[in-house]
Chain A
Amino acid sequence: MDTEKPDSPGTNRRTLLKCMAWAGTGIVWTVSGGVPRMLTMGEAIAAPADGFTFVQISDTHIGFNKEANPDAAGTMQAALDRIATLPKRPAMILHTGDVTHLSKPAEFDAAAQIMKGAKFDAHYVPGEHDVIGDDGKQFFERFATQANPGGWYSFDQGGVHFIGLDNVQNFEKSHAGGFGSDQLEWLEKDLKGRGASTPIVVFTHIPMWPIYPQWGWSTEDAPQALANLKRFGSVTVLNGHIHQVVQQIEGNVTYRTAMSTAFPQPAAGEGPGPGPLKVPADKLRGVLGIREVTIVAEKPAAVSDATLA
């Protein structure tokens, strides 16, 4: 956690509450689908009656058919069915990448078909599995025509500024995720002039903090991106890639990686590498999931991870 500076615009009651929550005081836990959910004290005292609600899904890996999950299309469909039954219909879905397993046209077709059937507005960023062989041409044509040539874009919805970043095509120098200087320059311009009270949601594929660089679970030039983000009062960074829920809070910035809808992966450093983790078939849906996010002005994002079990 960053040390708060006396002149930091982030030093306020909200930040203090978040820090307290992270430090272990004032945490309120609820459980949704077997996954503990952390509420901040402020939220528990006055639960948001309204707000802007959307859903994150990730790592659908359409085309994957190995033992860990022979039916990735079936579990992706189950995730969307689950979203359709949420008490509050989400305004849209963010997909944080690895839509397909091997960037094959048939995989893109199948994924697009499943998403079309769900009838949700959706925004996507690519994972490294979506840009194999063609630098993401098929991906961007289908799922992000609004993206800038390098793959990044932003939009405003529900009072929130959403920023989709591509960190899966700049791996050469870092041997991990990376944004590259063009994208960082664009981000600086995109944020310039925006009020610090605007809630920011960044969505990207690879974690933006170094969870386990030995397996590429980090984004080399994320600190430069963060330098432009940390003046905002509420920044939520959503990503996938590691197929499990891990979270971290640094000042006003909350990082949250999500479950996959296809298969789990081992915890950092457990086993030879970040491959599919095999679990008994009847336990699989207990380790796959979706994430519901509600943003209410002047409050930290309320995030709830739910499994498909």
Chain B
Amino acid sequence: MITSFQRQFLAAAVAAVLLAGAGGAVAQQVATAGPAQISIDNFDFKPSTLTVAAGTTVTWVNNDEEPHTIVNVGQPTRVFKSGGLDGGDTYSFVFDKPGTYDYICSIHPHMSGQIIVK
């Protein structure tokens, strides 16, 4: 026999599953949308991994006072490479080809991120 408490719990569980599904749909939407943005805050790329559809323009915004750069490393390498971005500066790159692109800040190479293009 299902008590009312259990029924409520079940309903909440179902809602959570539905919400999670919706969240997945949102993530899917990000992957197919036009522009995408990565913010640099306190020596971190946020998000550190971003999945986008081919053709997406990705823009990095440096919110730190310290300058940063965006340099593609690994394989493929140097597909994109920014100049020095001072505080408030931005850098954009259009990702046309599917693949996984690793990048770092060459001024602070302990900062790293990844763009996955589908």
Take A171-B104, A175-B110 as given contacts and tell me if A273 and B42 are in contact as well, using a CB distance cutoff of 8 Å. yes
Take A133-B83, A133-B84, A172-B73 as given contacts and tell me if A273 and B67 are in contact as well, using a CB distance cutoff of 8 Å. no
Contact with B along A97-121 (1 / 0, CB 8 A): 0000111100000000000000000
Closest to A98 in B: B107
Residues in A48-79 with C-beta less than 8 Å from chain B: 66-68
- Picked from A132, A214, A273, the residue with its CB within 8 Å of the CB of B106 is A132
- Picked from A102, A171, A176, A216, the residue with its CB within 8 Å of the CB of B67 is A102
**B84–A274 contact, CB under 8 A?**
no
What's the least CB distance linking A67 to chain B, in Å?
8
- Picked from A103, A214, A215, the residue with its CB within 8 Å of the CB of B84 is A103
**What residues of A have a CB within 8 angstroms of the CB of B107 in the complex?**
128-129, 132
What's the least CB distance linking A278 to chain B, in Å?
9
- Picked from B81, B84, B86, B108, the residue with its CB within 8 Å of the CB of A273 is B108
Query: A272 at interface (Cβ–Cβ under 8 A)?
Result: yes
Contact with A along B92-114 (1 / 0, CB 8 A): 00000000000010111110100
**B74–A272 contact, CB under 8 A?**
no
Give Cα distance in the complex from A273 to B84, angstroms: 18
**What residues of A have a CB within 8 angstroms of the CB of B42 in the complex?**
272-273
**A132–B65 contact, CB under 8 A?**
no
What's the least CB distance linking B82 to chain A, in Å?
8
How many chain-A residues does the 8 Å CB contact rule pick out? 26
**What residues of B have a CB within 8 angstroms of the CB of A26 in the complex?**
none
Query: A276 at interface (Cβ–Cβ under 8 A)?
Result: yes
Closest to A218 in B: B110
Give Cα distance in the complex from A115 to B86, angstroms: 25
**B104–A275 contact, CB under 8 A?**
no
Contact with A along B56-67 (1 / 0, CB 8 A): 000000001111
Give Cα distance in the complex from A176 to B112, angstroms: 11
**A273–B109 contact, CB under 8 A?**
no
Contact with B along A255-281 (1 / 0, CB 8 A): 000000000000000001111100000
- Picked from A66, A172, A174, A215, the residue with its CB within 8 Å of the CB of B87 is A66
Closest to A206 in B: B109
Closest to B86 in A: A102
Interface of A is mostly: loop
**A175–B104 contact, CB under 8 A?**
yes
**A272–B84 contact, CB under 8 A?**
no
**B108–A276 contact, CB under 8 A?**
no
Give Cα distance in the complex from A187 to B42, angstroms: 37
Take A128-B106, A132-B69 as given contacts and tell me if A175 and B64 are in contact as well, using a CB distance cutoff of 8 Å. no
**B66–A171 contact, CB under 8 A?**
no
Query: B80 at interface (Cβ–Cβ under 8 A)?
Result: no
What's the least CB distance linking A34 to chain B, in Å?
27
Take A102-B86, A103-B84, A273-B42 as given contacts and tell me if A176 and B109 are in contact as well, using a CB distance cutoff of 8 Å. yes
Take A66-B65, A102-B67, A275-B66 as given contacts and tell me if A171 and B109 are in contact as well, using a CB distance cutoff of 8 Å. yes
Closest to A177 in B: B109
Take A171-B106, A175-B110 as given contacts and tell me if A273 and B83 are in contact as well, using a CB distance cutoff of 8 Å. no
**A129–B108 contact, CB under 8 A?**
no
**What residues of A have a CB within 8 angstroms of the CB of B64 in the complex?**
273, 275
What's the least CB distance linking B97 to chain A, in Å?
21
| Interface, chain A (partner B; CB < 8 A) | 66-68, 101-104, 128-129, 131-133, 171-172, 174-176, 213-216, 272-276
Which 6 pairs between the two chains have the least Cβ-Cβ distance? A273-B43, A272-B42, A171-B109, A102-B84, A275-B66, A132-B84
Listed A/B pairs (29) with beta-carbon separation below 8 Å: A101-B67, A102-B67, A102-B83, A102-B84, A128-B108, A128-B109, A129-B84, A129-B107, A131-B106, A132-B69, A132-B84, A132-B106, A133-B69, A133-B81, A171-B104, A172-B73, A172-B74, A174-B109, A175-B104, A176-B110, A213-B110, A214-B110, A216-B108, A216-B109, A272-B42, A272-B43, A273-B64, A273-B66, A276-B65
